[in-house]
Structure 1
Amino acid sequence: MLKGIIVLLFFQFIGECISKLFSLLVPGPVIGMILLLIFLMIRKSSFKSLDNAVFIHLRYLPMLFIPAAMGIITQVDILKKEFWAILISLLLGTIIALIFSAKLMDYLTDKKAKNEL
């Protein structure tokens, strides 16, 4: 499990370095997560210690939403002022994501069916 935590911290560190070096608006942990995804896609599998480290962290994931909820509560005046813009963007974003996901699933299932023939 220690190896898994070290891998997670390594990718977060690399992401932070890239974010600071190039003055990006994207947070370092997000860049690190994308790099970890690319690493795992190239490797085509995970390893036991990384799986264990991730499983332990996933138990505490809901606690990460508490600061975001508190941030929303403190910005009620802005939410009231920009209610319609927020509502429309949420609805449009959800619809676009659903359409994209459905098209991607159609494409992938068609591709899988062609490969099985």
Structure 2
Amino acid sequence: MQTLIKIFAIFLFYWIGEFVSTLMGGFVPGSVLGMVFLFLALQLKWVKEDQVDTPAKALTDNMGLFFIPAGVGLMAQMDTVRENWWVILVAVLVSSVLVIASVAYIQEHMERRRSK
């Protein structure tokens, strides 16, 4: 029974994220909003880590399974990928550089805060 409550807690945040995403017109995916809401709830101590640890570990241990539908979809659209490979390549390179730079900036900021 305890595990069902833990699973429900994770799905509750997912559903809240989907609801808010619908209200926003789908601008941000509901799953992303749900993760942000769960993160905030954990940081604000509204939800304790032991309330979501078991299903969260199971989901992250099997994360590779969630990429299978995306990979199949990509293979099904291979003609589109071939026609627009350079646009995809530029988007991947630019987004990778932005992510690396933002993570480095945040990490540096956190290191400075920690040392004070």
SS where residue 52 of structure 2 aligns? helix
Aligned counterpart, 1:73: 75
Aligned counterpart, 1:5: 7
For 2:31 and 2:24, the matched residues in 1 are separated by: 14
Matched to 1:6, the amino acid is: F
Unaligned runs of at least 5 residues, structure 2: none
Once the two structures are superposed, residues 24-70 of structure 1 have per-residue CA deviations (whole angstroms, 9 ceiling, x without a partner) of 23332222221111111111873324101211222322111111100
RMSD after superposition: 1.8
| TM-score between both structures, scaled by the size of structure 2 | 0.85
Aligned residue-pair number: 114
SS where residue 23 of structure 1 aligns? coil
Deviation at 1:83, TM superposition (A): 0.9
Which structure is richer in relative contact order (CA contacts within 8 A, separation 6 or more)? 1
User: After the TM superposition, which segments of 4 or more aligned residues of structure 1 sit over 6 Å from their partners?
Assistant: none
Once the two structures are superposed, residues 80-113 of structure 1 have per-residue CA deviations (whole angstroms, 9 ceiling, x without a partner) of 1111111111111111211121122111111111
SS where residue 92 of structure 2 aligns? helix
Which range is displaced more, 55-64 or 72-81?
55-64
Query: Among residues 84, 95, 98, which one is paired with 1:96 in the alignment?
Result: 98
User: Percent identity over the alignment?
Assistant: 26
Aligned counterpart, 2:22: 20
Q: Which protein has the larger Cα radius of gyration, Structure 1 or Structure 2?
A: 1
Matched to 1:81, the amino acid is: E
